[in-house]
Each structure stands twice: as C-alpha cells, then as structure tokens.
Amino acid sequence: MTTHPNPPQWTGAFVRICLVNLFIFANVHALLPTFPFYVASQGGGAVAIGIATALFSLASIAARPFVGHVADARGRRPLLVAGTLGLALLTAGYAVAGALAQQQG
C-alpha cells in the first residue's frame, strides 16, 4: 500500500488569501455596527435605521447572482482582484471624507 504525503497547507497563496479575508471581514465588521449610528446622525429614526439596514442586506443578497455570473464568465481571480482594490479605495475614502468634513466644520 502506497501512501501519498500530504501537501503543505501553509503555502504563500494560502497565507495571502487568509490575509485578504481578514482585511475584508474586518472592514465589513467595522462598518456594520456603526451604520445605524450614521443613519441616526443623519436624522433617521428607528424605522429608518431598520429600513436602511434591511436594504443594505437585501442589496448584498440581490447582487450575488450577478456577481456569480460575472465570476463564471470572466474568471474569479480578476473579479477578486478588482473587488479587493475597490474595497481598499472605498476604505481609504473614509479618511478623505473625514478630512473634508473637518475642513468644512
């Protein structure tokens, strides 16, 4: 009986994808708890907070079939790279928006 050695799990690609996932989920989980407070600061009440949060979730669910189709048609890697770059730019936009708000106030 021949046994095949297990390939190493901790490869460079595995570590990179783990880091990307860490930063993506840290970004999402930093946004979600503060989102209701943002809606409230813009004058929204409890109903507006609930509707905005529900729409945030529904938009995510509604986009998944389209994103899946694009991933199948164009490849997953280009979509992952484009999404990660877009997320990084949008995250950097928080710093820009904060700086602009300080200049205005």
pTM of the model: 0.62
Q: Which domain holds residue 61?
A: 18-100
Residues of the chain with pLDDT under 70: 1-2, 105
The confidence score (pLDDT) of residue 105 equals: 64
Q: Is residue 7 included in any domain, yes or no?
A: no
Q: Is residue 2 included in any domain, yes or no?
A: no
The confidence score (pLDDT) of residue 1 equals: 62
Nearest alpha-carbon partner for 31 in 96, 93, 103, 104? 93
Q: DSSP assignment, residue 16? A: H
Domain count, the chain: 1
Q: Is residue 48 included in any domain, yes or no?
A: yes
Q: Is residue 12 included in any domain, yes or no?
A: no
Work out the percent of the chain whose per-residue pLDDT is above 90.
37
Q: Is residue 9 included in any domain, yes or no?
A: no
Q: Is residue 8 included in any domain, yes or no?
A: no
Q: Is residue 3 included in any domain, yes or no?
A: no
In sequence order, what are the residues at sequence separation of 6 or more whose Cβ sits closer than 8 angstroms to the Cβ of residue 24? 84, 87
Q: Is residue 49 included in any domain, yes or no?
A: yes
